[in-house]
Structure 1
Amino acid sequence: MLRFMVLLMKKNNSLSDRATATRQTSVGWMIQRLARMLERQMTDRLSEFGLKIDHFIILMNLSERENVTQTELGDGISMPNYAITRALDHLEGEGLVERRPDATSRRSHRVFLTKAGTQLMPSLFATVKTVNETFLAPLPDAQRADLAQILMTLMDPNDQTKLPG
């Protein structure tokens, strides 16, 4: 990485060299690439359960806090209403979630895990653990812990993509 930083500092390098150095030293670019790699691995593993990433995100959110409206659920995970509806339709069809009328609003529904959804969660937790362990395998334990701490430090405590509540 130091080599690319030196390249970036030289004024007589070509535009291509400077672009490469900028990209390869960009923390944002690296995090985005790593996120894509993790998402591909999760997508592959979730397909074994007949699930997609959107389904997984909803199930994980509901396992932490159910009895939320579809709108609250979507807002909490930054998912548009149409995508929430589509994902909930699938999950409801699979018997993993149920929507119940909201007692305070005729137009709203509250979302709950079903017994089958609740029973599936330990398998999904194990999947997350396996994917994370595989992904982090090249790092020694101390670096894994350091990376987790650094990422937690960088996360915005006001980020609306975190769970509601």
Structure 2
Amino acid sequence: MTMNKAHDIARDNISAARQTSIGWMLKMLSDSLDKQMNQALKPLGLNLSQFAIMMVLIERDDISQSDIGRQVLMASYATTRNIDVLVKMGLVQRHPHRQSRRSINICVTEQGTALAGKLINILREVNQALLQPLDEAEQETLKKLLPRLI
């Protein structure tokens, strides 16, 4: 077997393995979902990271910045940077923790609360578009299977 033929076989095997890889498919789906969410959030002046923080705060208001970071799987510096943006936009505010002087809690402002409905609608619309190629039974199956893999 020539070197070129061996290389072609290896390339074909890698390509087939990659394209049938669950990890690769989930990564492609995640990238597509991130892009769609960022496009939908752009008119509100938000990105996906800020959206994730807002969703956590709308669900569990008045929690520490470090708790937010853990819930959205975001590094401390990135959490701080994104919360800074949300503070400047008037959507959240910082205040000292009641029991620990070293901790800072974050809470949603009235303006942030007013945005909650729009954020939920964006999430629903993007999810609906993502699931559109599947029939209802397939959508339900996917919704049941994904949590088992997480």
Tell me the TM-score normalised to structure 1 length. Answer: 0.84
Structure 2 residue 92 is the aligned partner of structure 1 residue 97: yes
Structure 2 residue 18 is the aligned partner of structure 1 residue 26: no
Q: Which amino acid aligns with 1:60?
A: M
| Unaligned stretches of 5+ residues in structure 2 | 1-7
Partners of 1:103 and 1:128 in 2: CA distance: 33
Partners of 2:127 and 2:71 in 1: CA distance: 23
Q: CA deviation at 1:80?
A: 1.3
Of 35, 52, 74, 2:69 maps to 74
Partners of 1:153 and 1:78 in 2: CA distance: 19
Aligned-partner SS, 1:106? coil
Q: CA deviation at 1:147?
A: 0.8
Superposition RMSD in Å: 1.4
| Unaligned stretches of 5+ residues in structure 1 | 1-12, 156-165
Of 10, 14, 26, 1:15 maps to 10
Q: Which residue of 2 aligns with 1:36?
A: 31
Of 96, 112, 120, 2:115 maps to 120
Q: Which residue of 2 aligns with 1:62?
A: 57
Aligned-partner SS, 2:61? coil
Paired residue total: 144
Q: CA deviation at 1:64?
A: 1.1
Partners of 1:49 and 1:108 in 2: CA distance: 29
Identity of paired residues, percent?
38
Partners of 1:39 and 1:132 in 2: CA distance: 11
Partners of 1:68 and 1:94 in 2: CA distance: 19
Q: Which amino acid aligns with 1:69?
A: S
Of 31, 40, 57, 1:45 maps to 40
Aligned-partner SS, 1:22? helix
